[in-house]
Chains A and B, each alone.
Chain A
């Protein structure tokens, strides 16, 4: 299966912020936050159509989100995921002694994931904390 190496950014988007104030357990929140915006040509190079699921993998972890064609192209090689628990699954926690992890500029690999599903918030938190006990 094809794959693509990109630089991953996370950040605030208007739709993420609006969905957040409406409630994190709303369908709107998943629809607007569990997404990865790609340059349309990058999406094409993966053989994907907008709206299909995509797996994002970094050295920290892996997560499935919905792949979208960015309306801000061209930005070949740059992928954007809104701030939120889905992005956090793949972001590293090292702070290089500053207290601040790298939420932007992280190397990632993208692969199409047509047969995998995007987890809802409750399932995602369960996945994050799997095997963890008090």
Chain B
């Protein structure tokens, strides 16, 4: 019986990518977790449940067990024969997987898109236009005296984000009492309970309220009594708090990107921060959803110049969100094959997009069964990054982290990186054979 406590384990669930967990391992199994939230505790103790154990391939209309070799060959055939395949997912796996995926996308002339496309895609569009003022979590914890959560419920979506930043003691702040917390949302949530000020805005009213705040910050008079459901006096009070703070931070969630206005909402938020920086120090940061969605953007941008929705069908990268993004491609019925890595679009995409996905051959690489696996032609198992296999990832603040394996993978199960490399090698072989 060997028992070992592994320190500084990286949690591979949400975009806060906590790296301070202590995991106790005995005989190759996780038996205890300290420092994690309810989700990481569940993830680290139940990773072994309900797993794919072998590759699966559709035969006579049903998914049946097969060998890696056969599944890799079939996957390479699907991707090589496709005119316009999509390669999607990449946010709940390592940067190394994205890197191989991009090379594969180039070889098969596909579209490389990650889950940003249905999350903070509009944020990146706004950042292209306006830019953002940011910092690492460490700076925010040490210095922030005003924390705003807008369109985000981190107590549910990023459970330790507030504990590590807003509620935590910092070098220049003695803890919660030295920080003012403002929450803006369309409904009460468990996050609003910790707020000093809660602004319950009308649905789709974010752009209006952000513009009103910009006016108030500049000292312009608000002519309407109520804007987006908020009294003008309250807006002025919040603007005064923002201008009067020493070091503010606006964390915003998909409440801005998924509602009417989309990237224009984020434009307004980034512009508000730009205005505030002529009066005080103020930062802004999107609450990224998955633990390595920021890394998927990074790798895509290093390799192609663009962070998501990259079309390589002409042999060079093109980027035109709204056109080269997977929801639009699926809704138009354009793609003729799909590779899905560490994601479950059938659970995450609007039904119309799913209906097209079900019409094309889909290859899925995922440690666990998913709704997407149900409609797939080929399904590969994979090891769980951060538990059974290591990898690089980027936290939402842009800090790179390296996750290690804490337990050995199940026998015979390969990492997604290994499977992607094998598919890439087979694609190259088929392409070279076809050109001879």
Contacts and interface: CB of A to CB of B under 8 A. Distances in A.
B347 interface: yes
With a 10 A CB-CB cut-off, give which of B49, B187, B352 has the most chain A CB atoms.
Answer: B187
B258 interface: yes
B349 to A, nearest CB: 6
A122 interface: yes
A104 B255 contact: yes
Interface stretch (A46-54, A77-85, A110-118): A77-85
A21 B46 contact: yes
Contacts of B258: 100-105
A43 interface: no
B369 interface: yes
Q: How large is the interface on B (under 10, 10 to 19, 20 to 34, 35 or more residues)?
A: 35 or more
Given A60-B351, A97-B322, A102 B260 contact: yes
A128 B322 contact: no
Interface residues of A, number: 53
B352 A93 contact: yes
Contacts, number: 181
B348 A134 contact: no
B295 interface: no
A10 to B, nearest CB: 8
A22 interface: yes
A9 B121 contact: no
A72 B189 CA distance: 6
Nearest to A80: B187
B25 interface: no
A75 B348 contact: no
B38 A14 contact: yes
B117 interface: yes
B259 A73 contact: no
A14 B323 CA distance: 33
Contacts of B360: 134
A9 to B, nearest CB: 7
Given A97-B322, A101-B118, A17 B352 contact: no
A2 interface: no
A22 to B, nearest CB: 5
Interface in B6-33: 13-14
A129 B354 contact: yes
A100 B262 contact: yes
B344 interface: yes
Contacts of B325: 95, 99-100
Contact of B155 (A14, A25, A103): A14
Interface in B130-170: 153, 155-157, 159
Contacts of A44: none
Given A22-B46, A98-B322, A99-B309, A104 B188 contact: no
A13 interface: yes
A63 to B, nearest CB: 9
B117 A99 contact: yes
Given A18-B38, A105-B204, A100 B122 contact: yes
21 contacts: A12-B153, A18-B38, A18-B42, A22-B50, A23-B369, A24-B371, A25-B50, A60-B350, A61-B351, A72-B190, A75-B188, A99-B121, A99-B309, A99-B328, A100-B117, A100-B258, A100-B327, A104-B259, A105-B204, A105-B258, A128-B351
Interface of B: 13-14, 38-39, 42-43, 46, 49-50, 117-118, 121-122, 125, 153, 155-157, 159, 186-190, 192, 200, 203-204, 254-255, 257-260, 262-263, 289, 309, 321-323, 325-328, 330-331, 344, 346-355, 358-361, 368-371, 374-375
Given A17-B39, A60-B351, 10 more contacts: A7-B204, A12-B289, A14-B156, A23-B50, A60-B352, A91-B350, A93-B327, A96-B262, A105-B260, A125-B375
